[in-house]
Chains A and B, each alone.
Chain A
């Protein structure tokens, strides 16, 4: 598989981290953000990564998404081993195989909603699938907003545009980093609902980093990170089971 091809067959595991470590700084100021993480992400499943602040969950996402290189260990997405790729290859990998939804500042302020949505495809020089585009626009309720700039959209609308952009290229994995952090409860529920629908109806593998148990409860599996390691995993989580687990690991 090259960085630009879609996967030929759908494997059961979308991504895998093996003995992943990440160390920042040197000498006395050394920070061990990840201290040996072993993790698999299942295809077509909604995985939530949870943990207290400083647990390393964002660093883990960085490494899985090809935004950063680990100090040691392996990251595999599909057939590709990310840890052996150069910066340009990683860039092209992200373009084709990863979709991002950030907590805030998702969109380029000088582009319209439509242009923002098509940005990764533009960068790859690929033609958009317009039927897919129209469907996304309809499902996410953005038809009226396509020509508006981010400054003219509400927080919830901006996140929906970001989701549409993430889904537009049908990536291998969608990474969402605290997507509801800036939203009120109504918009949050909306955004999480869309993410889950894309997993259920489109088979889109989605990984969400969050610290809210209510958000994590939308996932199929919750992975709890503490002190740079996987503490525990919960399948089919509920808010209560998550809270229990959190209490147990003292988070």
Chain B
């Protein structure tokens, strides 16, 4: 039997290509993920080690700085302890050359041995008035050695000179700014101690246990033990990330299994006569079945081996790419480990073998007589069993119930419901897809005879058409649900941002008016779509002296959303940021007096528009107030780079000592994160879709081989080569188009469920579903086009068939 297997595989080698490619891609994917995760873990571990390299003993879990201080006294009294430092970390507002930013700040140990920072320029700060910055941030904000940085420590400001630039190093202690340990006392409650570390002679374990016994509440352990804890925490995030991506890999594997099963089924239908002949000459059913499974195993092994090589290559390239674009992310070197490679290989082999099992059994049950009969027309129709329909109905019911329950907020139920209902749909595809194709019939028939023939062909073998379409259906459904879901969530986030951060940037003078012409200069900044000067005046509001702004129509256009909509002349908008009106509630009435006149106005609250109260401009004019430009409201274009806009605006306002606030950085950051997540998810799903498309091409090419006689009959009857190609193209389009349409419909439905389950109560205002029509249309076009591309090679094969080949007796 072994010779038969090897010989048949050599002869039909080309027909296994699709199955092989599927295994290679799926295996390679998993191997690449494993290697990259391992490298990321190595990198994270290494940096943790580096930041604690000088420490021998570490203490954590203190209730506050005072506990650390008393421990320090006790430790330094110990004969073995040579040095002590507290690692501080916090967030502080810093005035950088290109604008104010809230950044992280960390400490530089007084004791040189306990310092972990390395400088690439200058030296580390050691005394008051000195500060250092991390290299990547220094580059971003144009900070150099010798620059002055102002820190806002609540009620006072610190001016510090940059003495050095620190190498980027990931780890729990990493910060943007570094000040000496001593300086933290003057920073107020901006920072918290992370831990306290000690350098010690002798046995660290002994020192640690001594100190531990002497204190209560604190945990004192050796630095090694502490590092192990930190490493675990660092790699936990990586582990979760790896598991998420492996879900995508699992999907690819599933799709791959479908393609492999499909390939084998068609292959074996073609070799039916050979196998029947084997049965004639004495092979028992089990032998045939086993030989097919052996073929599956071989393909799986070869494919998995190639996949390992491919995965390693991808990992190496990715590591280099990460090093180039995100140098501060620590990555170890990608290595092939037995653990990272063994599982994917076993999976690849296992899946291929399993996928070939059912076709193998069917092949083995061939009657030997099939070999003796003259070549018959290929069996035309297969029916889907009743059992399958019952199962499908069951899955659908349970799944839908789960989804509906998930709407009430039970996320797990929604997830499970989604998966189960999808399995139900997949079971139904042999019924769904041909029915869908039948309804498209009239459209196909418009294309003349090739269209009619293509239509009839694609409905002949429902199970095979369904198997091919299923793979594509899975991919399209997933991508659509992700695209639509994220568009809906983006819209919800945007709407929420409009309410909470209506103004991108607000430039205001701390007292007095804005310098003349500043509105025009701001409007000229690249990335600014509108800069409106808002007039204001000094007035008395509710007994307090305030700058009151008058909002006109121009100002309203500079603001997102409709927080200022319908502002009437008897209303005043109090910003939530203003601290002067704490006892005034929404709907209350307060007095505005300006220019000798007084008006009673109803209070309305808003947020994100600066801290000056607002009334309508017409009201101020009516009251005869003398107004000057007090604030400029800036709206950025959608595609503007937040950082660039902010630094350009800051450059203009710096000279005049103006304040800048606004939601632009937040908005930009959030939307950027969403976009990245979307891109990554779609990228991974695209791999599964690629495998599915290989399956489509495969089905077409093998069915061309199967239908040599029919196609040559058509050529004899008078169908031109181009007509034959057209027929195949339409078949491909029908299969791909119907799958894509079904997938888009399903994906949108799942997206709706998902968005309603996850984001409905968080962002209740926006509609549950926003369909990005352009992107959805593109998904359809790409799927259809790829289906067409998949049939190019098979069509060329078909056109080469001689008319009446195989039909003539001799």
Interface residues of A (CB under 8 A from B): 53-54, 57-59, 61-62, 65, 67-68, 87-88, 91-92, 94-96, 100, 102-106, 108-111, 119-120, 122-125, 149-151, 177-178, 181-182, 209
Contacts and interface: CB of A to CB of B under 8 A. Distances in A.
Interface string B688-718: 0000000000000000000001100111111
Interface in B122-152: none
Given A95-B718, A123-B449, A123-B718, A151 B377 contact: yes
B310 to A, nearest CB: 40
11 contacts: A62-B808, A91-B721, A91-B803, A94-B803, A100-B716, A102-B804, A102-B809, A109-B460, A109-B710, A120-B717, A125-B448
Contacts of B809: 58, 102-103, 177-178, 181, 209
Contacts of A57: 810
B710 A108 contact: yes
Nearest to B799: A87
Contacts of A122: 449, 452
Nearest to A169: B718
A104 B380 contact: no
B720 A100 contact: no
For the complex of A and B, list the 3 residue pairs with the smallest distance between their C-beta atoms, beginning with the closest: A95-B718, A58-B810, A110-B456
A150 B808 contact: no
B808 A61 contact: yes
B380 A88 contact: no
Nearest to A102: B807
A115 to B, nearest CB: 8
B529 interface: no
Contact of A95 (B452, B710, B717, B804): B717
Nearest to A59: B810
A22 B283 CA distance: 43
Nearest to B806: A105
B719 interface: yes
Contacts of B717: 94-95, 100, 119-120, 123
A91 B711 CA distance: 13
A150 B715 CA distance: 19
At the interface, is chain B mostly helix, strand, loop or mixed? Answer: loop
A126 B452 CA distance: 16
Contact of A151 (B380, B721, B807): B380
A85 to B, nearest CB: 13
Contacts of A102: 713, 804, 807-809
Contacts of A96: 718
B721 A87 contact: yes
Contacts of A125: 448
B374 interface: yes
B627 to A, nearest CB: 80
B387 interface: no
A1 B709 CA distance: 32
Contacts of A54: 810
B457 interface: yes
A223 to B, nearest CB: 16
A62 B804 contact: yes
Nearest to A88: B720
Contacts of A68: 802
Interface of B: 374-375, 377-378, 380, 448-449, 452-453, 456-457, 459-460, 709-710, 713-721, 723, 802-804, 806-810
Contacts of B810: 53-54, 57-59
Contacts of A109: 377-378, 380, 460, 710
Contacts of A65: 804
A141 to B, nearest CB: 22
A108 B454 CA distance: 12
A57 B456 CA distance: 35
A125 B452 CA distance: 13
Nearest to B452: A122
A105 B377 CA distance: 7
Contacts of B714: 108, 123
A174 to B, nearest CB: 13
Contacts of B453: 108
Given A58-B808, A58-B809, A110-B380, A91 B709 contact: no
A91 B718 contact: yes
Given A110-B460, A182-B374, A91 B808 contact: no
A124 B716 CA distance: 13
A178 B238 CA distance: 72
Contacts of A149: 380
Contacts of B710: 108-109
A220 B802 CA distance: 31
Contact of B716 (A53, A58, A67, A182): A67
B720 A91 contact: yes
A61 B448 CA distance: 30
A110 B713 CA distance: 13
B685 to A, nearest CB: 35
Contact of B802 (A53, A58, A67, A106): A67
A95 B719 CA distance: 8
Contacts of A181: 809
A114 to B, nearest CB: 13
B798 to A, nearest CB: 14
A111 B456 contact: yes
B387 to A, nearest CB: 25
Nearest to A93: B718
A146 to B, nearest CB: 16
B594 to A, nearest CB: 86
A61 B810 CA distance: 11
A110 B455 CA distance: 10
A84 to B, nearest CB: 18
B319 to A, nearest CB: 53
B374 A104 contact: yes
A149 B802 CA distance: 25
A219 B57 CA distance: 111
A89 B713 CA distance: 17
A94 B718 contact: yes
A4 B194 CA distance: 92
Contacts of A88: 720-721
Contacts of B808: 58, 61-62, 102-103, 177
A16 B413 CA distance: 79
A149 B718 CA distance: 21
Contact of A124 (B374, B452, B718): B718
